[in-house]
Each structure stands twice: as C-alpha cells, then as structure tokens.
C-alpha cells in the first residue's frame, strides 16, 4: 500500500463486553473514567450486512488521555457485528474508531481499496457511522475492525463532555448518565 494511510488517527478503542457494569468497574479501577452510560442506543436507521437491523445495545464512554474507551454490551441475540465478534462471550477489543468528515466519501474511497461496510447507520441524535471489514482482510484478526464516526457538532460536543469530565477526575460518580 505504500506510505499513505487509509484512515486518520485512532481516537477510540471499542470493546464488546458481556457485562457493561463489570467492565466499567475494571477500567475505573485502572483510573479511567468517569463513564457516561447510555442504557439503550437509539438508532434512526441501522443496517447489518446491508439489511435493516433492530437490536438493543448499551454503551459506556470514558476518556483515557487522548483515546476514548467505549464499552458495548448487546442485550439481545439479534445478528450484528457485536454478536458476530469471535470474542463476544468473553469480551475483547472489537474495533478502533476514527473520525471522518463524511462517512459516504470515506466508504467510496475504501471500496476502491477492497474494504466494505459491514454495519452502518445513524443514531436518533444524527450521528452517522459505519463499521468496515478491515478485520476480515488477509492477515487480520479479531479487534481489527474500523469504525468511521462522522464529525458533527452534536457528536463532537458529546465527546468533548466526556474528555472534560476525565480531566482531573477524582473517582467520584464513576458511572454517569443513567
């Protein structure tokens, strides 16, 4: 491929976990937090393998220096990238998140490199995203999926709130937003 990267810098480590609260407590014991918990992510639309999908997932976000830690627990058995993840039952790093100006433009660029969307959509808050199949390329491994997160004032403000809360955090109120 040469010296040109297909993605911007990683800003998020996305872990699929079997128990969101236990995983958050683990990270808190390492000094990462506080975690902002969304008990149910609301999607305006979501497609898995290019077919509409409706499922229940909870997410917790915290900041660890320059990197965001995302914990994901799918609370049903609907087929998604999370239930399809080989380490779903025990938990593990499932994806790396990068910010993009346009999910559509990035997907077109990646398709020319043979990389395709596996799951994509938008939240009811308007955040657009797409997970691409970089974990299925030759030599890849579980945890090598990339999530494209489209920049918008709303998502950037939310991520900034998470970042600010971590600055000088004293360990109080480790789980927030419930």
Question: What pLDDT is attached to residue 1?
Answer: 45
3-state secondary structure 49-80: CCEECCCCEEEEEEEECCEEEEEEEECCCCCC
Is 154 in a helix, a strand, or coil?
A: helix
Assign 171 to helix, strand or coil: coil
Q: Under DSSP, is residue 81 helix (H, G, I), strand (E, B) or coil?
A: coil
Residue 98 covered by a domain: yes
pTM: 0.95
In a domain, 35, yes or no: yes
Q: Residue 155, SS3?
A: helix
Detail the DSSP E strand segments found in the chain: 12-16, 35-38, 43-48, 51-52, 57-64, 67-74, 92-100, 117-123, 128-132, 145-150, 175-176
**What pLDDT, on a 0 to 100 scale, did the predictor assign at position 90?**
94
Range of the domain at 84: 12-168
CA distance 99 to 129: 9
Query: pLDDT 10s per residue in the chain (178 long)?
Result: 455 789 999 999 999 999 999 999 999 999 999 999 999 999 999 999 999 999 999 999 999 999 999 999 999 999 999 999 999 999 999 999 999 999 999 999 999 999 999 999 999 999 999 999 999 999 998 889 999 999 999 999 999 999 999 999 999 999 998 6
Q: Residues 13, 63: contact at Cβ < 8 Å?
A: no
Q: For residue 173, tell me if it sits in a domain.
A: no
Q: Is residue 2 part of a domain?
A: no
Extract the tokens encoding 18.
Answer: 């079997």
Residue 148 lies in a domain: yes
7 part of a folded domain: no
Is residue 176 a part of any domain in this protein? no
Q: What is the pLDDT at residue 142?
A: 87
Inside any domain, residue 143: yes
- CATH of residue 103: 3.10.180.10
- How many domains, the chain? 1
């Amino acid at each position: 491929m040469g010296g040109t990267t297909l993605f911007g810098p990683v800003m998020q480590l996305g872990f699929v976990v079997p128990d969101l609260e236990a995983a958050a407590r683990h990270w808190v014991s390492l000094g990462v937090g506080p975690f902002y918990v969304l008990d149910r992510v609301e999607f305006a639309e979501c497609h898995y393998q290019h077919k509409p999908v409706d499922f229940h997932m909870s997410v917790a976000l915290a900041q660890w220096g320059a990197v965001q830690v995302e914990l994901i627990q799918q609370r049903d058995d609907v087929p998604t990238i999370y239930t399809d993840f080989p380490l779903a039952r025990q938990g593990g790093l499932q994806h790396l998140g990068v910010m993009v100006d346009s999910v559509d433009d990035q997907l077109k660029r990646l398709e020319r490199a043979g990389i395709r969307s596996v799951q994509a959509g938008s939240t009811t808050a308007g955040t657009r995203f797409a997970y691409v199949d970089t974990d299925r390329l030759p030599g890849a491994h579980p945890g090598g999926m990339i999530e494209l997160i489209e920049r918008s004032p709303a998502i950037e403000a939310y991520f900034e709130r998470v970042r600010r809360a971590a600055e000088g955090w004293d360990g109080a109120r480790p789980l927030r937003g419930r």
